[in-house]
Amino acid sequence: MSVLVFVETDGGSVKKSSLEAIVYGSKVGEVTVAAMGTISNDELAGLGKYGATKVIHADDTQLDNGVIQATASFIAQAAEKAACNTVVMARSSLVDAIASRVAVKTDSAIVTNIVSVPDTSNGFAVKRGIYTGKAFATVNVNAEKKVLTIAKNAVAVEEVGGGDATVESFSTAYGANDFGVERVSVHKAEGDVLLPEADRVVSAGRGLKGPENWGMIEDLAQTLGAATACSKPVSDMDWRPHHEHVGQTGIKVAPTLYIAVGISGAIQHLAGVNSSKVIVAINKDPEAPFFKAADYGVVGDAFEVVPKLNELLKQN
């Protein structure tokens, strides 16, 4: 099977979730990568070690600007050029917006939020998360042409031992007004680590009592190279900015490590964080629901536990 894996880049590197998509694609068939934006040929050729044999790279400025119609068109054209009948993409806000467009443009079936590699023993069966990750459905994809979006952490990033991928540049030749939409400017949120992409997240809730107590959360995040996040009431009360609110109605995160401090673990909060690889809950109430979802739990007062944890981490 020929698989086109669409990758997103950030600051000249391929995002971790996109590397997961390449590894996923290599378990399904031969992988051609579709990349866009400003990124070096060396970086793209290096995707060979994750299983890509070829990279189609478009550096069209419309694509750099994240115009979704242009991106979907590029992916459909790249799939046709590389004669791929399966398109694999790691879920993100961009991919969630373009996946169905790509499916229409390539006349494919679409399955979203996949959490398992396909079982091909009797067809092409994949498991997908439903009800915000509280349940799973197994779907058999009968169509020859498929668009698959992959949940974060569905597979581990691993080097599969290939040589450099060949890199081919691709010109979409879009005009500035071809899609009727032009991104004028981008304002990045403050902070070094962007929450949706963060590999580690330190998050806190109403248990912290007030915005003046966030210093210890920021210190711990800095020690860990993590992004900071919060529960909904915390952002509703303006203790923290709204772009830090995670959960069902906020940002969905899937870091390697999610530390929840003074957060009860309501179902709406868990819906946005339950794809995290390792969850640590710190709560003074031993009955807090978060402990059922956590891999590790510390029953204790956040004002004692967090500074001590930070101190220990700094020593190591």
- Bind-site residues for FAD: 206, 262-269, 283
Contacts to ligand FAD from residues 202-221, by CB under 6 A? 205-207
- The answer to whether residues 87 and 102 touch, using CB atoms and an 8 Å cutoff, is yes
Q: Which of 165, 220, 269, 297 is in the footprint of ligand FAD by CB under 6 A?
A: 269
Residue 231 interacts with ligand FAD (CB under 6 A): yes or no: yes
Beta carbon nearer to ligand FAD, 15 or 232:
232
Beta carbon nearer to ligand FAD, 144 or 301:
301
Beta carbon nearer to ligand FAD, 118 or 297:
297
Contacts to ligand FAD from residues 295-314, by CB under 6 A? 301-303
Binding mask 51-90 vs ligand FAD (x if CB under 6 A, - otherwise)? Answer: ----------------------------------------
Contacts to ligand FAD from residues 276-295, by CB under 6 A? 282-285, 288
At its nearest, how many Å lie between ligand FAD and the CB of residue 142? 36
Residue 139 interacts with ligand FAD (CB under 6 A): yes or no: no
Largest CA distance in the chain: 60
At its nearest, how many Å lie between ligand FAD and the CB of residue 251? 9
Beta carbon nearer to ligand FAD, 46 or 300:
300
Piece of the chain touching ligand FAD by CB under 6 A; list 67-75, 107-115, 120-128, 225-233: 225-233
At its nearest, how many Å lie between ligand FAD and the CB of residue 98? 24
DSSP sequence for the chain: -EEEEEE-EETTEE-HHHHHHHHHHHTTSEEEEEEESS--HHHHHGGGGGTEEEEEEE--HHHHTT-HHHHHHHHHHHHHHTT-SEEEEE--HHHHHHHHHHHHHHT-EEEEEE-S--B-TTS-EEEEEEGGGTEEEEEE---SSEEEEE-TTSS--------PPEEEE------TTTTS-------PPSSSS-GGG-SEEEEE-GGG-SGGGTHHHHHHHHHHT-EEEE-HHHHHTTSS-GGGBBSTTSB----SEEEEES----HHHHTTTTT-SEEEEEES-TT-THHHH-SEEEES-HHHHHHHHHHHHHH-
Residue 133 interacts with ligand FAD (CB under 6 A): yes or no: no
Show binding-site residues: 206, 262-269, 283
Residues in the site for ligand FAD, rule: CB under 6 A? Answer: 205-207, 231-234, 247-250, 262-264, 266, 268-269, 272, 282-285, 288, 301-303
